């Protein structure tokens, strides 16, 4: 039911096929985030048209509304949200960090005060799995604690040990054979603790493994040694998922190190603020200089926004606060990341990922390529 096979490698970068009950996906891939069962402003048909392969749903938010049993009764996320491809649901562990003012952690689990109405909700490893089984995603995540940055070594150590105990409870609570449970390794940017967490997590032999607790405010110089170490320690024969990462340069650097899966709200959140992703960085469509520009967002892009609208029109929509603007810019941003991953897969298959990554860096950074990016490519075997 679940199978991962590596099709080609270029240095440490690899492309593969991951079989799920709702389809086979090609890695490396980016997963759009549908926090409440919907990728903001984008329909399921559009998601498929732009090349989305898996959509991510949020356990905490779907627990609050519409509720897991309602989703189960209406056919699970695949039918309820009218997206019949693979789904992944997180465990609620990220909200342990992001809702720090509204929660209390104990050995049993986490007590949240709902941001909607103030109700108290206790999310335990067992309940997180129960909710995810009701939602019906193909891939579910073990309940974990995502520690903040910065955090003391003592806090990180306690958090890692608690997350491992929660992983054991998550696995015991799981009942559905048609769902793959991924474990999550933590440790922040402390490489010693990151190693301890990864080695202990691998021992549970889950179908896939995630790298958690990064992209939470730490500098890139601290993030990438942690990614590099993690991909060396996680099994070659299983998919590796770097959670919460979606900046284009991060995807290219992390694929170089052997990461297979990514998710982030960045492309759609950025789109809602009027920023479009282009090879050189971000295009701020709020600026008046775009009001007379007849070019598309990105010449050569095949998304609906780029094949139908000019920068001038989209800039006008942004200024007029028309709802079509965030929809179209978000659509383009997602397509940009999917095209980036498609190009990465092609480069890996041709054994020239290094050339692809260096070309990306030249367009993105010019002559000022950050040391962390160069180091990531060197560690991945893509930079002499």
Q: Is the pLDDT of residue 348 over 80?
A: yes
The pLDDT tens digits for 268-292 are 999 999 999 999 999 999 999 999 9
- What would the mean pLDDT of 223-238 be, rounded to a whole number? 98
Q: CB count, 10 Å around CB of 5?
A: 10
Task: Find the catalytic residue in 190, 250, 260, 263.
Answer: 263
User: How large is the average pLDDT for residues 107-129?
Assistant: 91
- On the question of pLDDT at 38 being above 90, the answer is yes
Question: How confident is the model at residue 373, as a pLDDT?
Answer: 98
Return the pLDDT at 103: 83
pLDDT > 90? residue 113: no
Q: What was the pLDDT predicted at 377?
A: 98
Residue 118 clears pLDDT 90, i.e. is over it: no
Q: How far apart are CA 375 and CA 178, in angstroms?
A: 39
CA 359 centroid distance within chain: 24
Q: 3-263 is classed in which CATH architecture?
A: Alpha-Beta Barrel (3.20)
Residue 380 CA to its chain's centroid (Å): 21
Overall pTM surpassing 0.95 (yes/no): yes
What is the rounded distance in angstroms from the CA atom of residue 111 to the CA atom of residue 96? 9
Tokens 């282009």 belong to: 278
pLDDT at 93: 79
Name the band, by pLDDT with cuts 50, 70 and 90, for residue 112. Answer: confident
> Is the predicted pLDDT of residue 316 greater than 90, yes or no?
yes
State pLDDT tens for residues 57-105: 999 999 999 999 999 999 999 999 999 999 999 998 788 667 777 788 9
What is the rounded CA–CA span in Å between residue 298 and residue 305?
9
Cα–Cα dist 51/278, whole Å: 17
* Residue 251: closest CA among 377, 146, 371: 377
Mean pLDDT value across residues 296-305? 98
Section 374-384 average pLDDT: 94
Residue 47 CB partners (closer than 8 Å, separation 6+): 32, 39, 55, 83, 334
pLDDT of 253 over the 80 cut: yes
- The beta-strand segments (E) located in the chain are 3-10, 13-20, 23-27, 29-31, 33-34, 55-57, 87-89, 103-105, 110-113, 120-123, 139-141, 180-185, 208-211, 240-242, 261-263, 275-278, 281-284
Pair of tokens at residue 106 = 């104990």
- For all residues of the chain together, what is the average pLDDT? 96
3-class secondary structure, 60: helix
pLDDT in tens, 148-180: 999 999 999 999 999 999 999 999 999 999 999
Collect contacts of 316-323 with beta carbons under 8 A, ≥24 apart: 316/291, 318/274, 318/285, 318/286, 319/286, 319/291, 323/41
Q: Strand, coil or helix: what is 89? A: strand
Question: What integer pLDDT is reported at residue 22 of this predicted model?
Answer: 98
Structure tokens at 315: 């800039």
Residues 37, 84: Cα–Cα separation, whole Å: 12
The pLDDT value recorded for residue 100 is: 74
Task: Provide, rounded to the nearest whole percent, the portion of the chain with pLDDT above 70.
Answer: 99
For residue 45, what pLDDT is reported? 98
| CA of residue 89 relative to chain centroid, distance | 11
Asked if residue 29 has pLDDT above 90, the reply is yes
Reduce the DSSP state of residue 10 to 3 states and report it. Answer: strand
**263 has catalytic annotation:** yes
Residue 56 · residue 64 · CB < 8 Å: no
Q: How confident is the model at residue 48 (pLDDT cuts 50, 70, 90)?
A: very high
Q: Which residues contact 249 (CB under 8 A, 6 or more apart)?
A: 360, 361, 364, 365, 373
Question: Which pLDDT does position 114 carry in this prediction?
Answer: 85
164 in Cβ contact with 120 (< 8 Å): no
**What does the pLDDT average to over 110-121?**
87
Contact 186, 160 (CB under 8 A): yes
Residue listed under structure tokens 């498929």: 48
Instruction: Name the residue ranges covered by the structural domains of the chain.
Output: 3-263, 270-335
* Under 8 Å between Cβ of 298 and 276: yes
Which residue among 90, 144, 190, 260 is the active-site one?
A: 90
For residue 173, is the peptide bond before it cis, meaning its omega torsion is within 30 degrees of 0? Answer: no
| 213 secondary structure, DSSP code | S
Residue 362 pLDDT: 97
């Amino acid at each position: 039911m679940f199978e991962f096979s590596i099709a080609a490698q270029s240095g440490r970068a690899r492309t593969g096929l991951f079989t799920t009950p709702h389809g086979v996906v090609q890695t490396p891939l980016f997963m759009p985030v549908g926090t409440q069962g919907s990728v903001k402003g984008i329909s399921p048909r559009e998601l498929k048209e732009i090349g989305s392969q898996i959509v991510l749903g949020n356990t905490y938010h779907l627990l609050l509304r519409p509720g897991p049993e309602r989703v189960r009764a209406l056919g699970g996320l695949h039918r309820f949200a009218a997206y019949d491809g693979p789904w992944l649901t997180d465990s609620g562990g990220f909200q342990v960090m992001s809702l720090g003012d509204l929660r209390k952690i104990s050995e049993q689990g986490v007590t949240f005060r709902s941001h909607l109405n103030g109700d108290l909700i206790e999310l335990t490893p067992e309940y997180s799995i129960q909710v995810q089984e009701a939602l019906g995603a193909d891939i579910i995540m073990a309940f974990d604690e995502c520690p903040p940055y910065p955090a003391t070594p003592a806090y990180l150590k306690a958090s890692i040990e608690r997350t491992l105990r929660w992983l054991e409870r998550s696995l015991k609570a799981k009942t559905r054979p048609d769902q793959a449970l991924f474990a999550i390794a933590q440790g922040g940017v402390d490489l010693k603790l990151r190693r301890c967490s990864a080695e202990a997590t691998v021992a549970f032999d889950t179908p896939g493994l995630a790298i958690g607790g990064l992209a939470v405010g730490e500098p890139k110089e601290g993030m990438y040694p942690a990614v590099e170490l993690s991909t060396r320690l996680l099994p070659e024969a299983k998919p590796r998922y770097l959670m919460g990462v979606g900046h284009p340069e991060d995807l290219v650097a992390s694929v170089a190190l052997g990461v297979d899966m990514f998710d982030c709200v960045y492309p759609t959140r950025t789109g809602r603020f009027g920023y479009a992703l282009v090879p050189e960085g971000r295009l701020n469509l709020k600026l008046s200089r775009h009001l007379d520009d007849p070019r598309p967002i990105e010449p050569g892009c095949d998304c609906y926004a780029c094949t139908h609208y000019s920068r001038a029109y989209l800039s006008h929509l942004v200024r007029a606060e028309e709802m079509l603007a965030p929809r179209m810019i978000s659509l383009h941003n997602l397509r940009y990341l999917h095209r980036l991953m498609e190009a990465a897969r092609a480069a890996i298959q041709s054994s020239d990922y290094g050339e692809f990554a260096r070309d990306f860096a030249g367009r993105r950074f010019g002559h000022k390529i950050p040391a962390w990016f160069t180091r990531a490519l060197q560690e991945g075997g893509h930079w002499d």
